[in-house]
Amino acid sequence: MNLDMLTNGYLNDSRCFAIVDRITASQPQQIQLKGLSGSAAPFIVSAVFNHSAASQLNHLIILRDAEEAAYFHNTLENITSALNLFYFPSSFKNKKNYRLLNASHVMLRTECLTRFSNPMGERVGAIIT
């Protein structure tokens, strides 16, 4: 089984259609995916992200910690080859000392916020944090 067959399997799954229906409803929706293992979550988010009804919406994906978010972002980026996926890490080097900034993380956050606050151009994408 290759990557295209796997992504198409998720894209055509009725459960992914149900998620897209909830996201595209007139009232804002929060969806929590639980009980998934391995890379199932990035594949589901990829299917939703690439679905024609939800592809013009912004998505915010919140994970438990920075390591999980970084792995999720990397996996999703490899699955979709999308350029509008942004990792939004903490600005600080560690949780104990909030005086030490991580310069590379500040740059990632700035790039993300600049992209989504720009009134001109492409503003659709996903933020993973």
Q: Any idea how long the chain is? A: 129
Domains of the chain by residue range: 3-128
Is-contact 53 120, C-beta < 8 A? Answer: no
Closest to 109 in 3D by CA, of 117, 98, 99:
117
Distances 88 to 7, 18, 26, 68, 126 between C-alpha atoms, Å:
25, 27, 27, 12, 10
Per the model's pLDDT, the better-predicted residue between 54 and 94 turns out to be: 54
pLDDT digits (tens, 9 = 90+) for 35-82: 888 889 999 999 998 888 888 888 889 999 889 999 999 999 999 888
pLDDT at res. 61: 92
